[in-house]
Structure 1
Amino acid sequence: MEEIDVDVKQVSPKHATSHTAPSISERGSCTGVIVTLGLLSVFLLVSLIIVGVLYHNSVHDSAVELWAIQDNLTELLQASNDKLSSMTEERDLLSTNLNEITEERDLLNTNLTKMIEEIDLLNTNLTKMIEERDLLNTNLTKMTEDMQMLQSSSKKKKPCPAGWKMFSCSCYFLSEESGSWDEGRQDCRDRGADLMVIDSPEKQTFLSGFTKRPTWIGLNDRDDEGIWKWVDETPLTLTYWDTNQPDNGGGIPKFGEEDCVHTRPDENTAWNDLSCASSLPWVCERIP
């Protein structure tokens, strides 16, 4: 056992001696690795420098572009603001012009309305003047006829029949009996006369003193509702209607159509329309 231990101890130092000094090839390899690492470091440093330069240039270019975009946006915003201000001024000017035009239009409408009212008033006055002229012409014609009849009567000296009353140049008869408007007119015709025509204030005044009862006169609108005519076919120009008359029955069914006219002595002989079938006395008129 001891011999074996000795041998081992002797052998072990030899083995250790053989590995303490590296060989030449191993030293060359280490130097190559170091050189390679150094070159890689240099390349890496150069690459980092290049990347840094490029990044700096890129950031600078980007900043320049951003500044340029910002300037463009600022210019566009300013231009937009200027355009908006201009449009706002134009809008305000148009609004002012519109208000002025509206005021002028309203003024023109007001003036037009006044002109229309004045024209209507002139037309009304003209109508009244025409009616008055027609009435004057009618009265003149009637006066001429009365004068001619008076002259003729004075020459003939023919009196009214018995029971008749003379006024102006005509004779008038007041019936004692009553009947419809048609019955009264037929009675007058049978006497050579017709229902009385009132075409002058004097005849209206005469009638007021001649009869004290509601009495038929020769006025009706049978042919055309609202168009009143005398029995001698002359149109109505002089009127003495009672208040709110004529009313054609006022729309009350029991009164029916009121197409014939009678006087109301208790109302200053004012006129009233009544159903032609009503029963009243009548007054006739004829030339002597």
Structure 2
Amino acid sequence: MKRNPQEEIEEMEEEDNYVNAPAWTVDEVAAPPDQRSLFFSRSSPLIAVCWLILLVIMGLRIYFGIVLESKITNLTTPNQQLETQRNNLTKQIQDLETNWNKLNVSRAQWSIDAYCPKDKERQCTACQKGWGLRDSNCYAYFDAAPPNQKTWEEARQNCRGRSSDLVVVQSQTDQDILNAVSSGSSGTAGYWFGLRAEGGRWKWIDGSDLTESYWTPQPPPPATDGQCVMSVQTDNWISVSCGEKKRWICKMKALSV
């Protein structure tokens, strides 16, 4: 059937409109027009929230990283100071040990020289040179002139500096030694030994209480703090002020040879 020219023109315009129409995406084709607009309207806030959460997380990581680094820096300085102090203390301990070893060597050498004098050949004795041996003890009395005499405490320090101490009377031999070196009946002629008043009682320097004594006359005088005892030949023992200057006598154990 033959079409008229007007119908052919309309058919060609429809074909041209179809060819030039814009292409649709898969989602646009799949989704109805009302659902496509609804998807975009709902997804935009969700994306914004996700970005916000991501920014918060990154900010927190940066903040806590800065805080942690600051704390590490604050701890590093005290640790370095403690390390320096530890090194200083270690060096001081090492110096003390070195000095202590030197002192021990010096004391050992002094003991050898004191008990075993170096003449042509070393010959060791039970007591140092200048000390007298009685039983198993060594005694030395220091008959110093008045300018060089000492208080009771000074006399004791002198004995201790010689690895000995003031005489503690533990036997008749000890008392005989005191009597032998003492002379006269006055305090100016006596010797300090290791007895003094302490806490209202007469006590020996080894901490023991006075039991047997050689006071003249008996009984012993009151134990008044600040009083010490000295030996004189006639009166045996007398009590005088510890601060007076007197002579003194030291005692130590003899060396077994």
Shared fold (TM-score greater than 0.5)?
no
Q: TM-score, normalised by structure 2?
A: 0.44
Higher strand share: 2
Choose 1 or 2 for highest CA Rg. Answer: 1
